[in-house]
Structure 1
Amino acid sequence: MRTSVGIVLVSHSPLLGAGVAELTEQLGGGGVAVAVAAGTEAGEIGTSYELIEAAVRQVDSGAGVVVLPDLGSAVLTARAVLADLAREDEVVLVDAPFVEGAVAAVVTASTGAGLAEVARSAREAWQSRKF
């Protein structure tokens, strides 16, 4: 079985993270590893270094990992985790709209695309118009 780029969804809200993961699993056909690092260890609103680090390790199959944060401290915390991992060529923090970027990343990863293409696809979701 071919490995695909893994996706980590970093959100302040466990419910938001779970909802986006549910959507992407349906659209990606279940063939892409998606992990949610949302909220605190106690299930409250917030962000957690430990949850983000564990999520990156969970989806890392060797093809790379795209990390998509929702906003604010999710970005800052994810940056700290990635700096400590020191794997900038293998784990990429992507500035993209959370839902649209996640969908684009998972769908692209499901085709077997590489890390750079998956990250680019998520970033390009900024250009997606709803109407």
Structure 2
Amino acid sequence: MVLVSHSAKVASAVAELSGALLGSVDPAPLAVAGGTRDGGVGTSAELVLAAARLVDEGQGVAVLCDMGSAVLTVRSLLAEDPSPLPAVTRIVDAPFLEGAVAITLTSALGGDLDAVLAAAEDARQYRKH
């Protein structure tokens, strides 16, 4: 899984929290692509590509974006012909924190890409009242 955020600090914090909530379960590959290459706020196609290639084990890569241009950056990479992203890369349509926790747990428990996507998208339904 790859977490794409406009902020390196946010992406790292969400990754850290997601991992901490696993308890004794070994985490699946996770990388972050936060901010720009120079440390600023924004998104970087280069960082997204590097992160996706880092976690790719041939079973698919789930990419969870925080908002706006992060989604557009990943969509543009997927639209290239051929796409520079790993062959089976999917954008996850889920809230950033809740989706990251769901993805981390589901993938760590051995869920395939479809199960990971479903778990993350179900996180949208968590009610807080």
TM-score normalised by length of structure 2: 0.90
Quick one: distance in 1 between partners of 2:78 and 2:50?
12
Q: Secondary structure at the match of 1:46?
A: coil
Amino acid at match of 1:9: L
Percent pairwise identity: 49
Quick one: distance in 2 between partners of 1:30 and 1:111?
8
**2:98 is matched with which residue: 97, 100, 103?**
100
Are 2:45 and 2:74, in contact at CA under 8 Å, matched by a contact in 1? Answer: yes
Q: Which moved more, 1:21-30 or 1:57-66?
A: 21-30
Quick one: distance in 1 between partners of 2:60 and 2:5?
20
Deviation at 1:82, TM superposition (A): 2.2
Quick one: distance in 2 between partners of 1:61 and 1:72?
28
Are 2:61 and 2:89, in contact at CA under 8 Å, matched by a contact in 1? Answer: yes
Alignment CA distance shift 1:105-1:89 (3 Å): same
Amino acid at match of 1:126: R
How large is the Cα RMSD of the aligned pairs? 1.6
CA displacement, residues 64-106 of structure 1 (integer Å, 9 cap, x when unaligned)? 1100000000000011122232778711101100000010011
Are 1:67 and 1:92, in contact at CA under 8 Å, matched by a contact in 2? Answer: yes
Ranges in structure 1 where 5+ consecutive residues have no aligned partner: 1-6
Match of 1:15 in 2: 9
Alignment CA distance shift 1:87-1:18 (3 Å): closer
State how 1:65-84 maps to structure 2 within 5 Å: 65-84=61-80
Alignment CA distance shift 1:83-1:24 (3 Å): same
Q: Secondary structure at the match of 2:58?
A: coil
Match of 2:31 in 1: 35
Q: Secondary structure at the match of 1:81?
A: helix
TM-score normalised by length of structure 1: 0.89
